[in-house]
A and B are shown apart, each in its own frame.
Chain A
Amino acid sequence: MDFRLNEEQQMLQDTVARLVRGEYSFEKRLEYSESDAGFSVDFWKQLGELGLTAVPFPEELGGFGGGGVEVQSVMTELGRGLCLEPYLQSVILGGGLISQAGNDSQKAAWLGGIASGELQAAVALQEPQSFYNLNDVETRAEKADGGYVLNGRKAVVIGGHCADVILVSARTSGDSRDASGISLFALQADTAGIERRTYPTIDGFKGCDLTLNRVKVSDDALLGEEGSAGGVIEYQSGRGIAALCAEAVGVMEVASELTLDYLKQRRQFGVPIGKFQVLQHRMVDMMSELEQARSMAILAASVADEEQNDERRRILAAAKNVIGRSGQFISEQGIQSHGGIGMTWEYNFAHYAKRLIMINHQLGDDDFHLERYASLLQAS
Chain B
Amino acid sequence: MNMNYTAEELAFRDEVRAFLDKKLPADIAAKVKGFRRLSREDYQRWQKILSEQGWYATHWPKEYGGAEWSPVQKHIWDEESGRYGVPRSIPFGVNMVAPVIIRFGNEEQKQTYLPRILSGEDWWCQGYSEPGAGSDLASLKTRAVRQGDHYVVNGQKTWTTLGQYANMIFCLVRTNTEVKAQEGISFLLIDMNTPGISVRPIITLDGEHEVNEVFFEDVKVPVENLVGEEDKGWTYAKYLLTYERTGLAGIGLSKAALAHLKELASRRIKNGRPLIEDTVFSQRIAEVEIDLTAAAISNLRIVASVEGGGMPGAESSMLKVKGTEIRQAINDLARRAIGPYAIPFVEEELNFEYEGEFLSDENAAPLSAQYFNNRKLSIFGGSNEIQKNIVSKMILGL
Residues of A bordering B, CB below 8 Å? 1-6, 9, 69, 260, 263-264, 274-275, 277, 280-281, 283-285, 287-288, 291-296, 298-299, 301-302, 315, 318, 321-322, 370-371, 373-375, 377-380
Give the nearest-CB partner of A1 in chain B.
Answer: B304
26 pairs from A and B in contact (CB 8 Å cutoff):
A1-B2, A1-B4, A1-B303, A2-B304, A3-B305, A5-B1, A9-B1, A280-B388, A280-B392, A284-B396, A288-B318, A291-B298, A292-B291, A292-B294, A292-B295, A292-B298, A292-B322, A295-B297, A315-B293, A318-B294, A321-B287, A373-B286, A374-B282, A374-B285, A377-B282, A380-B263
Q: Does B259 reach chain A (CB closer than 8 Å)?
A: yes
Mark interface residues in B315-328 (1 if CB within 8 Å of A CB, else 0): 10010011000000
A176 to B187, CA, bound (A): 73
Q: Choose one: B3, B290, B318; the contact of A321 (CB below 8 Å).
A: B290
Q: How far is the CA of A298 from the CA of B322 in the complex (A)?
A: 18
Interface residue B307 (Cβ < 8 Å from any Cβ of A) = yes
On whether the beta carbons of A3 and B286 are closer than 8 Å, the reply is no
Q: How large is the interface on B (under 10, 10 to 19, 20 to 34, 35 or more residues)?
A: 35 or more
Contact, CB under 8 Å: B262 / A379: yes
Contact of A295 with B301 at beta-carbon distance under 8 Å, contacts A263-B398, A380-B262 already known:
yes
Contacts between the two chains (Cβ within 8 Å), count: 131
A283 touches B301 (CB 8 A): no
Q: Which of A1, A264, A373 contacts B5 (CB 8 A)?
A: A1
Q: B318 is contacted by which of A1, A3, A5, A284 (Cβ under 8 Å)?
A: A284
- A1 x B72 contact (CB < 8 A): yes
Give A271 Cβ to nearest chain B Cβ, in Å. 11
CB of B234 to closest CB in A, whole Å: 22
Q: Give CA–CA (A295, B258) in the complex, Å.
A: 20
Q: Which are the 3 A-B pairs with shortest beta-carbon distances?
A: A295-B297, A379-B266, A280-B392
Residue from A2, A6, A295, A370 in contact with B286 in the complex, judged by beta carbons closer than 8 Å? A370
Q: How far is the CB of A235 from chain B (nearest CB, A)?
A: 21
Task: Say if the beta carbon of B377 comes within 8 Å of chain A.
Answer: no
Which of chain B's residues has its CB closest to A372's CB? B286
B286–A288 touching, CB < 8 Å: no
B305 touches A299 (CB 8 A): no
Nearest Cβ on chain A to B267's Cβ, whole angstroms: 9
Evaluate contact between A280 and B1: CB separation under 8 angstroms.
Answer: no
User: Cβ of A321: which chain B residues have Cβ within 8 Å of it?
Assistant: 287, 290
- Residue in A3, A281, A292 whose beta carbon sits within 8 Å of that of B3 in the complex: A3
User: Does B276 reach chain A (CB closer than 8 Å)?
Assistant: yes
Instruction: Indicate if the CB atoms of B385 and A281 lie closer than 8 Å.
Output: yes
Say which residue of B1, B6, B279, B321 sits within 8 Å of A3 (CB atoms): B1
The answer to the question of B265 belonging to the interface, with a C-beta cut-off of 8 Å to chain A, is yes
B3 cross-chain contacts in A, Cβ below 8 A: 1, 3, 298-299, 302
A356 CA to B107 CA in the complex, in Å?
Answer: 58
User: In the complex the two chains form, what is the Cα distance from A317 to B282 in whole Å?
Assistant: 15
Q: Is B351 an interface residue (CB 8 A)?
A: no
B265's partner among A2, A299, A379 (CB-CB below 8 A) is A379
| Residues A283 and B300 in contact, CB atoms below 8 Å apart | no
The CA-CA distance from A11 to B379 in the complex, in Å, is 44
Across the interface, name the chain A residue whose C-beta is closest to B71: A1
- Give Cα A130–Cα B236 distance, bound, in whole angstroms: 61
The interface bits of chain B over 58-83 (1 if a CB of A lies within 8 angstroms of the residue's CB, else 0) are 00000000000000100000000000
Chain B residues in 8 Å Cβ range of A3: 1, 3, 300-301, 304-305
Contacts of A264 in B (CB 8 A): 397-398
The answer, among A6, A9, A296, A377, for a CB contact under 8 Å with B276, is A377
Taking A299-B293, A370-B287, A379-B263 as known contacts, 5 extra A-B pairs with beta carbons closer than 8 A to each other, sorted by chain A number, are A263-B398, A280-B388, A283-B396, A293-B294, A379-B265
Q: Which of A263, A274, A277, A318 contacts B389 (CB 8 A)?
A: A277
Say which residue of A301, A302, A373 sits within 8 Å of B290 (CB atoms): A373
Closest residue of chain B to A4 (Cβ to Cβ) is B1
Q: Does B147 have its Cβ within 8 Å of any Cβ on chain A? A: no
Which residues of B are found within 8 Å of A315, using beta-carbon distances?
A: 293
Q: Chain B nearest CB: distance from A245 CB in Å?
A: 11
Which chain B residues border A9 with CB–CB below 8 Å?
1
Closest to B395 in A: A287
| B174 CB, nearest partner CB in chain A, Å | 27
B179-221 interface bits toward A, Cβ cutoff 8 Å, 1 = contact, 0 = none: 0000000000000000000000000000000000000000000
